[in-house]
Amino acid sequence: MSSTTRPTSTAGAQNASSLARRRRGAELEAAVLEAAWDELRAVGYPAFTLDGVAARAGTSRPVLARRWSSRTDLVVAAISQHAAGVMHDVPDTGTLRGDVLSALRQLSASASDMIGVLSFVFADYFDTTGLSPSDLREQILAGTPSRIDRIIQRAVERGEVDPDRLSPRVLSLPGDLVRHDVIMTQAPVPDDTLIEIVDRIFLPLVTAGRPGHTTQD
């Protein structure tokens, strides 16, 4: 990683220092992670540097270095913050079908937005760090319950789901199918495909024999 900083004017350096003084704690961290996400989207992982993020965030490299020991740590933190914004919004339509379909629509939109960034990461990140895609996903999720876990828990409480039919593979299936389509097409998944995933694949796996379960177009 290059230690060369981007040239700045004296006024610019003073302004960055002033911004750094005004922002503290969580506010500063959120601003840096947002800048890191924007920088990653703009230049990709190979050209991603702490200096570039510091310039974009209007702060200094030492401020970043005190919080993240490497650019890899900062990349993971930036992707985690971006993903957390999506993961926080758990649909609550009152039905399992409505919740899962809404969640997949959100996932399709967010995944297609992230795919350009992650394609840069895939090109260099794993070779550099020796990690696998599953390792990165585990770091990003960091034990946080997924949206589908929370949706299914509510459905179990409503009596819509047969708990005996649940397994980690079954629960991950709808999200895995959406991510696969996004990666293969580099575009959001068509809504009719999302409906098919929910109605013809996922719901029959988890609701067989449950009264009151219906699918609809």
Query: Which domains can be identified in the chain, with CATH numbers?
Result: 10-73 (1.10.10.60), 89-207 (1.10.357)
Low-confidence residues in the chain, pLDDT < 70: 1-24, 84-88, 112-127, 131-134, 136-137, 139-145, 208-217
- Res 27: pLDDT: 86
- Res 121: pLDDT: 59
- Res 125: pLDDT: 66
- Res 1: pLDDT: 44
- Res 106: pLDDT: 87
- Res 104: pLDDT: 93
Whether residue 56 contacts residue 48, with contact meaning beta carbons closer than 8 Å, is answered with no
- Res 9: pLDDT: 41
- Res 17: pLDDT: 46
- Res 193: pLDDT: 97
- Res 99: pLDDT: 95
pLDDT in tens, 129-167: 776 666 766 766 665 667 888 899 999 999 999 999 999
- Res 41: pLDDT: 81
% residues pLDDT > 90 (the chain):
38
Report if pTM > 0.85.
no
Residues 6+ apart with CB under 8 A from 99: 90, 91, 92, 93, 151, 154, 155
